[in-house]
Amino acid sequence: MRNVETKNQILKYIVDEYVSNSKPVGSVYLINKYKMNISSATARNIMVILEKENLIEKSHTSSGRIPTPKGYEYYAKYLTINEEDKLASKIKDIFASRRSSIDNIIDEAVSIISEASKLTLVTSENKNDELLKSITLTPISNEIAIIVLITSSGKVDTKELKLSKRLNLDDLKIAIRIFQERLHNVKLVDIPKSIESLKPILKQHIKNYEELIQTFVIGVFQNYKNIANNKIYGKSHLIKSQDIKRQELANIIELIENQSIWESINEKNYLDENLKLEILPSNTSIISKRLLLNGSVKDVSVIGPTRMDYSKAKNLLNIIEKYAKENLKNNVDIEEE
């Protein structure tokens, strides 16, 4: 038992140090800083074990160790401590004020947390009931057209379509007219299936109708399978991070702007019932909390570099959940009096 505790302690110190300083961590440094009652040889042996378990790895630039994605995940699951930090009382006051709806209060709290913690946070409301209200076409050239979609929430979305030589603008105009007539008020998530059902009609008017269907399903409507209404706070913290791979940043931004972050995380990545963690190859980590609030669902996510402070991120999400539920309970009690 003692060995397990010491091993966990060393791993926690390594992650804490690397998150704070972005420098490889050596055994002597840990013993001196944290006044550990073990020899440097014992510390090195434990670090070898952690390395064999793929929780840490040797740095290329020194003899120190740095955490692996598996190490970060283990740290986030088992080694973080849920302590209320200095933001807790401020967040509590926001929720206690009951100045507006619970959704607006959560957004206000998240905005303050992002500014104070220098973390990127996202609130999400699933929009699986979003309907298509309008679809129009603007030709740019014989090979390129812009499709403009208007949804039931008033959102205007533009998509660029590149046409193959087998498709032309006349075919596209016919398809748009049919879609406008037949897909009006259809849920966005159901449109790919609905387009498939239009095959007999499209076949009558368009020679290469199957290629056109694929072009629309993949190029226009594919991303609506996981659509969400996201509000982003502190996006600049993510953009300025030197740890996140620049070539992957556009994909991350697209995810947090348009997709349900909770749904994008694999089901196997639960930390607990309503908390998920994903560590991406882009050196980015996502921790997402699902809030179940009197029948409604709202997700709050923290996005940052892999060496983010997981303890702080989890703590902030737990604070939001705690005071949101207290707010709802207090409001119910007031209504019943």
CB atoms within 10 A of CB 157: 16
Q: 168 or 291: which carries more pLDDT confidence?
A: 291
C-alpha 190/C-alpha 181 separation (Å) is 16
Residues of the chain with CATH 1.10.10.10: 2-79
pLDDT tens for 1-27 read 457 788 999 999 999 999 888 889 999
Neighbours of 271 (CB within 10 A): 18
Q: Are 133 and 151 in contact (CB under 8 A)?
A: yes
Other C-beta atoms closer than 10 Å to the C-beta of 220 total 20
User: What pLDDT was estimated at residue 86?
Assistant: 65
Question: What's the pLDDT band for 91 if we cut at 50, 70, 90?
Answer: confident
**pLDDT band for position 83 (cuts 50, 70, 90):** very low
Q: What are the residue ranges of CATH 3.30.450.40 in the chain?
A: 88-127+227-336
pLDDT of residue 12: 92
Q: Using CA atoms, how far apart are residues 115 and 121, in angstroms rounded to an integer?
A: 10
Mean pLDDT (the chain) is 86
Note the pLDDT of residue 334.
Answer: 42
pLDDT score for 335? 47
- Average pLDDT on 66-81 reads 89
Mean pLDDT of 328-335: 61
Higher pLDDT, 44 or 99: 44
CATH of 2-79, one of 3.30.390.50, 3.40.50.800, 1.10.10.10, 3.30.460.10: 1.10.10.10
Mean pLDDT to the nearest integer, 36-47: 92
In the structure, what pLDDT confidence band is assigned to residue 70 with cuts at 50, 70 and 90? very high
Report domain 132-224's class.
Answer: alpha beta
Question: Where do the CATH 3.30.390 domains begin and end in the chain?
Answer: 132-224
pLDDT digits (tens, 9 = 90+) for 144-183: 889 999 988 787 888 888 888 888 888 889 999 999 999 9
Q: What angle (nearest 5°) sits at the alpha carbon of residue 245, between those of residues 247 and 303? A: 115
**What share of the chain in percent tops pLDDT 90?**
38
Residue 61 has pLDDT above 80, yes or no: no
Q: What is the pLDDT of residue 29?
A: 92
> Given a cut of 70, is residue 213 above it in pLDDT?
yes
DSSP 3-state assignment of 149? Answer: strand
260-270: average pLDDT: 88
pLDDT-derived band of residue 312, with 50, 70 and 90 as boundaries?
Answer: confident
- pLDDT of residue 59 exceeding 50: yes
Mean pLDDT value across residues 295-299:
81
- Classify 210 as helix, strand or coil: helix
Say if residue 233's pLDDT is above 90.
yes
CB 188 within 8 A of CB 224: yes
Strand order in the sheet with 275-280: 228-233, 120-126, 296-305, 284-293, 275-280, 270-272
Distance of CA 306 to the CA centre of its chain: 13
Residue 332: what pLDDT? 52
User: 31-35, 80-84, 329-333 — which one is most confidently predicted on average?
Assistant: 31-35
For residue 333, what pLDDT band results from cuts at 50, 70 and 90? very low
CATH class, range 88-127+227-336: alpha beta
Quickly count: other Cβ atoms within 10 Å of residue 54's Cβ.
12
Q: Give CA–CA dist 254/273, Å, rounded.
A: 26
Structure confidence at residue 85 (pLDDT): 58
Given a contact cutoff of 8 angstroms between Cβ atoms, the answer to whether 265 and 288 are in contact is yes
> What global pTM score does this model have?
0.63
Determine the average pLDDT of the residues in 26-32.
92
pLDDT in tens, 202-211: 999 988 888 8
**Average pLDDT for 51-58:** 95
